[in-house]
Amino acid sequence: MLSSLSDKRSQEKRERRFERYQQVIRLHQEGLIHREIAAQTGLSRSTVLNYLKANAFPERQKYSTNGSILDCFLPYLHQRWSAGCRNAQQLWREIKEQGYPETHRMVTRYIARLRVSENELPQTPTINSANGKTTVFKTPSTKRAAWWLLQLPEDLKPEQREFLEQFINLCPEALKIQVLGQKFRAIIRERLETNFDDWMKAGQESGIKELENFVKGIKQDRAAVKSALKFEWSQGQVEGQVNRLKMLKGQMYGRAKFDLLRARVLHRI
């Protein structure tokens, strides 16, 4: 299905380019120069010149995966994609365990093509379990879906909750991310310093590479994070004053001595 969608999308693009090509040729036959044609069609001058120099409509070379080392792993990638896994790095790690010898770059590019093809799908209907009616709901972006995972169910709209339920059924890892993400949100907002170490351990043992890297980054500033959770005070005021001092110093272009800088700082208080 993804392949047919990609072919349809490519055909539609070719038809649009062919229409522009015919428009350029027609305007040229009417006596317009390439600058006037570019201004009227919205095309770049180089594109207009290329169209005029070509003896016929310049076809674009089709992308081909023939002979690619990734070919034998495509059925597995399509299977995992249909199951809801959209993480290129995760898919690369999985096929690497099966013998794929290359880096993640080719897998990332191929997954990007699948994602573009999927975005060409029309809005898909979902069932609202409350009233049994079919509603039209557009598939959200990756960032928006990730944000919904961090929200409490009561803060989401019914169609958003329905989408998350279907998404979690397709990708069980999303449930683990949702649970740990909401726990981390509660720890930060409610200053649950006693729960922080347990959450760090759960994140480190989650088996999700991205979450493990996030925990690893927090570990580097563990003491500062725990202090922020434990105490109400912060160094925000100090950082603000330092930033103000740097701003005033920058406005003086390094020409003034300390006495003038001190006077300006005191004057701005």
Distances, alpha carbon 196 to alpha carbons 51, 152, 214, 226, in Å: 63, 20, 14, 8
Structure tokens at 34: 């390439």
**pLDDT in the model for residue 62:** 57
Q: Residue 171 and residue 82: Cα distance in Å, rounded?
A: 10
Per-residue tens of pLDDT for the chain, all 269 residues: 445 555 677 777 888 888 888 888 888 888 888 888 888 888 888 888 888 888 788 877 655 445 578 888 888 888 888 888 889 899 999 998 888 888 888 888 888 887 776 654 444 444 444 444 444 456 677 788 888 888 888 888 888 888 888 888 878 888 888 899 889 988 888 888 888 999 999 998 888 888 888 899 998 888 888 888 888 777 778 888 888 888 887 777 666 678 888 888 787 66
Amino acid symbol at 216? K
Q: Residue 219 and residue 215: Cα distance in Å, rounded?
A: 6
Query: Which tens digit of pLDDT belongs to each residue from 211-242?
Result: 888 899 998 888 888 888 888 777 778 888 88
The answer to whether 24 touches 43, Cβ cutoff 8 Å, is: yes
**pLDDT in the model for residue 4:** 55
Query: Which tens digit of pLDDT belongs to each residue from 26-67?
Result: 888 888 888 888 888 888 888 888 888 887 888 776 554 455
Amino acid symbol at 144? R
Q: Residue 241 and residue 214: Cα distance in Å, rounded?
A: 30
Distances, alpha carbon 224 to alpha carbons 175, 183, 187, in Å: 29, 19, 15
